[in-house]
Amino acid sequence: MLAALQQGVKGGRWHSLIDKLYPVATLRAGFAAVKSNRGAAGVDHVSIERYASDLDANLARLSESLRSGTYRPRAIRRHYIPKPGSQEKRPLGIPTIQDRVVQTALRMVLEPIYERDFAAQSYGFRPGMGCKDALRRVDELLKGGYVHVVDADLKSYFDTIPKDRLLALVAGKVADGRILKLVESFLGQSVLEDTRAWVPERGTPQGAVISPLLSNIYLNPLDHLMAGRGFGMVRYADDFVVQCRDPQEAAEALSVVRDLTEKAGLTLRRADR
């Protein structure tokens, strides 16, 4: 897989990935990441400590269910957390430990494939990048004379991504039907809040390990379109700025942002200059 990442694959699509996912070694690495991130139990009430108490047997069963195609994710437990700078609360989905292990392993398999093509101006949820890198780029553009700024963010981005379009983008690089079915199953997980359960029509759950990667996959075309038109955009997750040299360019950038986000089926919470 490392050689293929360096040289590329025929047709630009990966046809065999499930065998990279289900080995116990991959799942063990996934569990190590889940354990280091800690977090609460899901709907099955199985904590990290309890899952770890019989880890070898749990991973062996999980590996076999992924290999045989019988694995099915459980419902997501809905929990609300305070939203910084607001009196609102943000919905957070808590998958089971086992589902977090699978999603982490899946991210390990998929992330290097998509990282090769992610735009340079995308900084959120990417390995080796963070807020400080985005701020440094903003500062570089300001010092370079790009002082007219379009400031925008997307409304309820994670909850409103069109699932069919997102799956189509994933399928643009992944031809392994079992991997695509797995991604679709995570997008189709039911949400359990108190005694009420439902399946959201849109979005990828906030709190799911795979969601940040999927969110970047969906906005990657927007990143490249903006770069292709010569705009100095810096994006961190669903917040982004477009830095321009003059008011006319900023007005054009604002118009383009509104048009492209509407075509993507998304809603701007704020877009001004």
Considering only CA atoms, which of 181, 157, 22 is closest in space to residue 91?
A: 157
Q: Is residue 3 scored above 70 in pLDDT?
A: no
- pLDDT tens for 213-262 read 999 999 999 999 999 999 999 999 999 999 999 999 999 999 999 999 99
Which amino acid type is present at position 78? R
Rounded Cα–Cα distance for residues 146 and 227 (Å): 14
CA distance readout (Å), 66 to 9, 99, 184, 211? 24, 11, 14, 20
59 — pLDDT class (breaks 50, 70, 90): very high
Residue 7, both tokens: 């040289």
- pLDDT tens for 75-90 read 999 988 887 777 778 7
Query: Full-prediction pTM beyond 0.85?
Result: yes
Phi-psi region of 62 (alpha: psi -120 to 50; beta: other; left: phi over 0): alpha
- pLDDT tens for 190-204 read 999 988 899 999 999
Q: Is residue 129 scored above 90 in pLDDT?
A: yes
Q: What is the mean pLDDT of the chain?
A: 93
pLDDT at 2: 65
Q: What is the DSSP secondary-structure string of 187-253?
A: HT--EEETTEEE--SS---TT-TTHHHHHHHHHHHHHHHHHHTT-EEEEETTEEEEEESSHHHHHHH
* Contact partners, residue 149, CB within 8 Å, separation at least 6: 241, 242, 243, 244, 250, 273
Q: Is residue 4 scored above 90 in pLDDT?
A: no
- pLDDT tens for 10-55 read 778 898 999 999 999 999 999 999 999 999 999 999 999 999 999 9
